[in-house]
A and B are shown apart, each in its own frame.
Chain A
Amino acid sequence: MKKYYPPVRTLHLYIGLFVSPFVLIFSVSVLVLNHAGYLNSVMPVKVLPVIKTHLDKIPYDTSDLQTAKAIIQKLEIKGEIDFISQNDDHISFPVTLPGEITKIEVNKHTNDVLITRDEDGVFRATNYLHKMPGPHNTTIRGNATFMKIWRVLADTVVYLLLFLSASGIFLWYFLKAERKLGWLAIISGAIIFTGLLLFILG
């Protein structure tokens, strides 16, 4: 087994370095998600002025997503269409880039468009990325190129993180000087983990 130590160490190091900025995104976003009230008080969302405009020839005779895509293309707005609400009179949807949400509402009779935009900032951008692609609106998720890339990257980061934790255990096992304290760390972590789950799941 020891012959695998050098290549595993090299992989652990390089993969760890590559993944570390993404681990920062996921970790910072946990703090943002758990303390949204505090973030709102120190770094409120910046609401930009409302824009009213008009569009010609919106294709309503196709799928909701294609209609929404045609609208944002005409408006030259980029981002992921998160979900779409539509009735006989209006079609509305948010278009998101990490850290920026644009809400678009179109009057289907007049083609008048109302655009509102929120600047969320860097911290809420991590929050959005953490939640994506997520379990909701799966039929339209990945309608922007960046989301297609992020979907693959988010999965890759998780698999690499699993490799890092497994390879970390492998590397620790060969460090005799750290064996005792390492066992203590694993066992205490396991006790707290199990205890928490037992309590919280009833």
Chain B
Amino acid sequence: MTYQTLIKKLTYSNRRLHIHIGLFLVLFIWLFSFSGLLLNHGNWKFASFWDERKEKTTEIVVSIPAGLDSIQIMKTIFSQLKIAGEVNNVKMTTDSVDFSVAYPGHVSNIHADFKTGTGIQKELSYNVWGKLRTLHTFNGANRGNADVEPNWLLTRVWRFSMDAIAVGLIFLSVSSWIMWYKIRQNYPWGYLVLIVGFALAGWFVILLKL
């Protein structure tokens, strides 16, 4: 295969991948675009979520057998309360545990007393707009400790999806430059448009702090 044939094949594959990866990602792009707008425009009345939140407090009963370690205790509570989600803010003593468990649009704050076998569960549920907002940011990141990995399988799956979409968008950007370069004679303004885009982006990312 000659060099020119190889280049031709690669640019053809690049174009096809640009089309099909773009089509595959379209719903994800719409979700993250729209939820990004929601996050930046908290004053949009139609998308109000905090005032429409539902709060519920229930008394819970938990039975913790003696001799369990902290992980086993948490697993027992999860199993007895039939809850699932990303666990945060765990504060465990010999007598009790406090923690929050969340998935997009829903947060439970739980206090369980081992001695009495009782506790309190405070639940917070958002409407569809609140769910969209939290989907945008739901990556299991721990603000206090960046090394802590997500502890819920679905958080890891969602975070992987975010990574995949990001890599897909990077590919769409780079492949668009290759596609334009091939037909640059027909679209000469491409040089200017690309330079202006990079100059503006570079100003924000690099030049501002110099």
Contacts and interface: CB of A to CB of B under 8 A. Distances in A.
Interface of A: 10, 13-14, 16-28, 30-31, 33-34, 36-37, 39-40, 97-100, 122, 125-126, 129, 133-135, 138, 146, 150-151, 153-155, 158, 161-162, 165, 168-169, 172, 175, 178, 181-182, 185-186, 188-190, 193, 196-197, 199-202
B158 interface: yes
Given A98-B205, A155-B37, A181 B20 contact: yes
A21 B180 CA distance: 15
B7 to A, nearest CB: 20
Contacts of A155: 37, 40
Contacts of B165: 27, 30
Contacts, number: 190
- The main secondary structure of chain B at its interface with chain A is helix
Interface in B166-210: 166-167, 169-170, 172-173, 176-177, 179-180, 187, 189-190, 193-194, 196-198, 200-202, 204-206, 208-209
30 contacts: A13-B190, A14-B190, A14-B193, A17-B177, A17-B193, A17-B197, A20-B194, A21-B200, A23-B170, A24-B201, A25-B201, A25-B204, A27-B170, A28-B166, A31-B166, A33-B139, A34-B163, A97-B209, A98-B208, A134-B40, A161-B29, A168-B19, A168-B22, A172-B19, A181-B20, A185-B24, A193-B27, A199-B154, A200-B154, A200-B157
B176 A20 contact: yes
A17 to B, nearest CB: 5
A17 B180 contact: yes
Given A16-B176, A27-B166, 13 more contacts: A20-B194, A25-B205, A31-B166, A36-B141, A37-B146, A98-B208, A134-B39, A175-B19, A178-B19, A182-B19, A185-B24, A193-B28, A200-B157
B104 A169 contact: no
A144 to B, nearest CB: 9
A33 B201 CA distance: 19
A74 B196 CA distance: 34
Contact of B189 (A14, A21, A146): A14
A111 to B, nearest CB: 27
Interface string B27-65: 111110100110110110000000000000000000000
A21 B29 CA distance: 16
A165 B16 CA distance: 15
A95 to B, nearest CB: 11
A138 B204 contact: no
Nearest to B149: A37
A113 to B, nearest CB: 20
Contacts of B37: 155, 158
B133 interface: yes
B76 to A, nearest CB: 21
A98 B209 CA distance: 7
Contacts of B138: 200
A17 B194 contact: yes
B34 to A, nearest CB: 8
A103 to B, nearest CB: 15
Contacts of A153: 200, 204
A16 B206 CA distance: 22
Contacts of B193: 14, 17-18
A150 B190 contact: no
B54 to A, nearest CB: 15
Nearest to A10: B187
Q: Which 7 A-B pairs have the closest CB atoms?
A: A21-B201, A36-B146, A30-B166, A20-B173, A189-B24, A37-B147, A185-B23
